[in-house]
Amino acid sequence: MSDPVLYIFSISHFCEKARWSLDYYGIAYQLEILVPGTHTIFARKLGLPRSSLPILVTGKEVIQGSSAIIDWADQHANTDKPSLNPVDDLDQAADIERRLDDLAGVHLRRLFYSEALVEHPETVKPVFAEGLSLLNKIKLSLMWPIVRKKMIALMDLGAEQGLQSKAILEKELDWLDGLLSGNRPYLIGASFSRVDLTAASLLARLAGPAEHPAQGHFKLPPRAQRIAARWNQRPVMQWVIALYAEHRY
């Protein structure tokens, strides 16, 4: 049986969440990077109601979304590592993961793109192009003006929106700092779990861990760099760096 295929955008922190979980569980897979815009056609062909990535195609199943992919990976582990599911705290873990996805994940994305895509689009396209074939790079270049316009509309991007997301993120970082108070090594329970993986994946773009697969070709725009420099003094951001060093390989 051929390896499952993980379809991603290389720039996406939700895709990194799924990718890390497959790596953690020792699951061999093929990585396919899609051209933004064409991913909607691809998802439609698979019969999916939404076009969002990541998508994992196993031959028998199609799994969409980073949390669902973690669920699948946990059932198909090829390693003796502990499960990422904290057995004694499943309900609390689900609540925390959902909050991380819906608030930290969404608003970090909007904060970044409200500056990068609106003011510095020339810095975003190369990251989307990373890993694409020559033909798909040409497709991306041709489609880029339309893709950029649609992304700005769909994600509700702009200067004011970026400030709103920044304020929400500051509250979420306060909350995460609180969960880690007393030098706790993990957000929940006594071992590394999907909650920790989720938080680290979603915040890694700001923290900048060397182990991130896309770290070498990703750059924050100027204001986001200044925000990251300030936020990276926070306990949670230092924790992200340490977590990647220990668990992302």
Interval 122-174: pLDDT, tens: 999 999 999 999 999 999 999 999 999 999 999 999 999 999 999 999 999 99
Contact criterion met (CB below 8 Å) for 99 and 106: no
Regarding beta strands 55-57 and 5-8, do their DSSP bridges make them parallel or antiparallel, or are they unpaired? antiparallel
User: d(Cα 132, Cα 128) in Å, to the nearest integer?
Assistant: 8
What does the pLDDT read at residue 106?
A: 98
Token pair for 127: 């990251």
Helical H runs in 3-105? Answer: 13-24, 38-45, 66-75, 90-99
**Per-residue pLDDT at 102 exceeds 70:** yes
Residue 34's nearest CA partner among 124, 117, 131, 112 is 131
What is the dotted CATH code of the domain comprising 5-75?
Answer: 3.40.30.10
Confidence of residue 89 (pLDDT cuts 50, 70, 90): confident
User: d(Cα 39, Cα 9) in Å, to the nearest integer?
Assistant: 9
In this prediction, what percent of the chain has a pLDDT beyond 90?
A: 90
Contact criterion met (CB below 8 Å) for 55 and 4: no
Burial bucket for residue 83 (CB in 10 Å: 0-12, 13-18, 19+): middle
Domain boundaries, the chain: 5-75, 87-247
Confidence of residue 217 (pLDDT cuts 50, 70, 90): confident
- In tens, the pLDDT along 38-64 reads 999 999 999 998 999 999 999 889 999
User: d(Cα 194, Cα 200) in Å, to the nearest integer?
Assistant: 10
In this prediction, what percent of the chain has a pLDDT beyond 70?
A: 100
Average pLDDT value for the chain: 95
What does the pLDDT read at residue 1?
A: 60
